Amino acid sequence: MIRRPEKRLFTRKPLGLLLATLLVPAVLSGKAYAAADSVSTKTYNRLTEAQEFITNSQFAEAKVILDELVTSVNDNSIDKALTYQLIGYTEMSQNNYPKAISAFMETLSYEKLPEQLRINIGYMVAQLYAAEGEYDKALDFAREWFVTLEAPTADQYIFMANIFAQTKNYSEAVPYAVKAIDMSDDPKETWFQVLIASYFELKQYQNSEKYLKMAITNWPTKQAYWEQLASVYLMQDKMEPALVTLQLAWKGEWIEKEGLIQNLIQLAVNEGIPEHAARLLVQAMDRGVIPENAKYVDSLANAWLAAKEFDKAIASFERLSDINGEAKPLEKVANIHLQQAQWKEAEKAARAALEKTSDKPGNIWFALGMALAEQERFDEGISALRKAKAYDYSSRKAGQWIKYAEGLKRQKQWVEQNRNS
């Protein structure tokens, strides 16, 4: 299948140590608690000692100090709040995200926590929830954090876009992702992915097209972007650009031709626009992009059939039978005629199918029997149905139709007898 744009940009990777390394030095700074109660000298010294252990990746030693400290300091004090904060960083450094979240939440429960510290820790909690895949919880903290930023950076904008996308708030994700890309001299590939994915989910294919072109310009060897661009053209019924996109990608050997057309067709059928797939195939064959072989003619016939363009489907199935010499396409033609109560045409197609190779002739005899019975040629129809009944795979339905045809025959005879009496 055509790969949908990827929007899962948060992974449970070992980001804890990096974040903790950046943030731990600020834990005991004056700014961390200047507006709060004063931390005791004893607690400050012990926290400083634990902080040095964390900085040197000596987490076990830090944990001993913090576990002892958290049980000895007073509840609802700045001492306990900062102790839990440092416990959170310790756990985060070791990628123990649930424990880190729990510790940070203890810090946030302290009523007199300085506002900026509360916001920063809330941002950390948002990132940890995101890393754990709990995006709704991440969004709660991220919203509160983002509104406090005076001049958000591109990284901060894309963080919000990611959270919105993961919570399926695609319309809210879009402006954040656009802003991140527009304000950056070197936007990252994942930023384009979250924006394209959001547009795709919103079915805003023209906007997807714009940013897919930009992604291809930056990363021309990425197969997924070529496939997705062709698919959004297909969604918009832009056959010429879709073909040009495929030809450029094939020429550059960035995508494999075999199977891609089939994927595009399946995508269009799944999206409820099989006629787009059929027209793409017709143009691709007419321009020599793909050969008019059994594989692609079969795809064309089935695309027309899914679009309920029955005359075009019939013509394509007949062409397919000419190419591969098999009965199956003509059996499908017979069934299409049967569905439309075109009994004579169904009979003709079934008889033509019987002249070709078939791995299940019973199904063809069954179609012929139905067509004949509906024309009130009951004896011929019952004869054909009995031949169908001789095969295990068609025996049951043929038996049912034999009873039905015999009933119609008796009914017709009764009507004629009473008409003449």
Q: How far is CA 269 from CA 26, 134, 209, 277, 345, in A?
A: 56, 34, 20, 8, 27
Q: What is the pLDDT of residue 20?
A: 41
Last residue of one domain, picked from the residues 114, 131, 148: 148
DSSP 299-363: HHHHHHHHTT-HHHHHHHHHHHHHHH-BSHHHHHHHHHHHHTT-HHHHHHHHHHHHTSB-S-HHH
88, 139: one domain = yes
Q: Considering only 12-16, 183-187, 191-195, which range has the smallest mean pLDDT?
A: 12-16
345 pLDDT tier (thresholds 50, 70, 90): very high
3-class DSSP assignment, residue 412: helix
**Are residue 373 and residue 319 in the same domain, yes or no?**
no
Check whether residue 330 and residue 254 sit in a common domain.
no
Residues 221 and 346 placed together within one structural domain of the fold:
no
pLDDT score of 421: 60
Which of 20-29, 110-119, 219-228, 240-249 has the least mean pLDDT?
A: 20-29
CA angle 348, 350, 351 (to 5 degrees): 65
The pLDDT of residue 5 is above 80:
no
Residues paired with 326 in a beta bridge: 357
SS3 state of residue 230: helix
The string of pLDDT tens digits covering residues 281-291 is 998 888 888 89
Classify residue 212: in a domain, yes or no: yes
309's torsion region: left (phi>0), alpha (psi -120 to 50) or beta? beta
User: According to the model, what pLDDT value does residue 271 have?
Assistant: 83
DSSP 26: G
pLDDT at residue 7, as a whole number = 57
Q: Would you say residue 261 lies in a domain? A: yes
Residues 259 and 291 in one domain: yes
Domain closes at, from 101, 130, 148: 148
CATH number of the domain within which 370 lies: 1.25.40.10
Cβ distance 404 to 373 under 8 Å? yes
Q: Which residues fall within 8 angstroms of residue 75, CB to CB, at 6 or more apart?
A: none
The neighbour count for residue 420, using CB atoms within 10 Å, is 6
With respect to residue 156, please indicate whether it lies within any of the assigned structural domains. Answer: no
**270 vs 130: which has the higher pLDDT:** 130
Distance CA 129, CA 97 (A): 8
337 and 278 fall within a common domain:
no
Report yes or no on 173 lying in a domain: no
Residue from 197, 196, 199 nearest 212 by CA: 196
Q: What is the pLDDT of residue 3?
A: 55
Q: Are 100 and 16 in contact (CB under 8 A)?
A: yes
**pLDDT score of 270:** 82
The strand pairing partners of 357, in sequence order, are 326
Residue 353 maps to a domain: yes
In angstroms, the CA 380 to CA 391 distance is 18
Q: What is the mean pLDDT of residues 14-34?
A: 44
Alpha-carbon distance values, 387 to 356, 357, 399 (Å): 17, 17, 10
pLDDT value, residue 257: 67
Q: Which long-range contacts (CB under 8 A, 24 or more apart) does 152-159 make?
A: 154/179, 154/180, 154/181, 154/183, 154/184, 154/187, 154/191, 155/180, 157/183, 158/188, 158/190, 158/191, 158/194, 159/127
Of the residues 121, 148, 175, the one at which a domain ends: 148
Residue type, 218: N
Show the DSSP H helices in 236-272 as ranges. Answer: 239-251, 260-270
Asked if the structure places residue 305 within a domain, the reply is: yes
248 & 117 share domain: no
Residue 207 maps to which CATH number? 1.25.40
- Which domain does 336 fall in, by range? 326-421
Residue 385 covered by a domain: yes
| Residue 157 confidence class, pLDDT cut points 50, 70, 90 | very high
107 and 130 both lie in a single domain: yes
Contact 278, 244 (CB under 8 A): no
Query: Is there a contact between 310 and 345 (Cβ–Cβ < 8 Å)?
Result: no
Q: Based on the fold, state whether residues 131 and 238 are members of the same structural domain.
A: no
Per-residue pLDDT tens digits for 247-263: 888 878 777 766 677 77
127 and 6 in a single domain? The answer is: yes
Whether residue 38 sits in one domain with residue 23: yes
CA distances from 115 to 28, 87, 122, 124, 197 (A): 15, 20, 10, 14, 35
Q: What's CA 152's distance to the chain center, in Å?
A: 30
Which carries the bigger pLDDT value, residue 13 or residue 66? 66
% of the chain surpassing 70 pLDDT:
90
pLDDT of residue 117: 86
Average pLDDT, the chain: 88
Both structure tokens of 51: 């902080």
- Supply the pLDDT for residue 52: 92
pLDDT at 160: 96
83-97 pLDDT per residue, tens: 999 999 999 989 999
Give domain status of residue 170, yes or no. no
- The arithmetic mean of pLDDT across residues 160-165, rounded, is 96
pLDDT band at 323 (very low <50, low <70, confident <90, very high): very high
Shared-domain flag, residues 14 and 143: yes
What's the domain count of the chain?
3
Q: For the whole prediction, is pTM greater than 0.85?
A: no
Per-residue pLDDT band for 419 (boundaries 50, 70, 90) equals confident
Q: In this structure, what token pair is assigned to residue 305?
A: 């059939």
At residue 14, the pLDDT reads 43
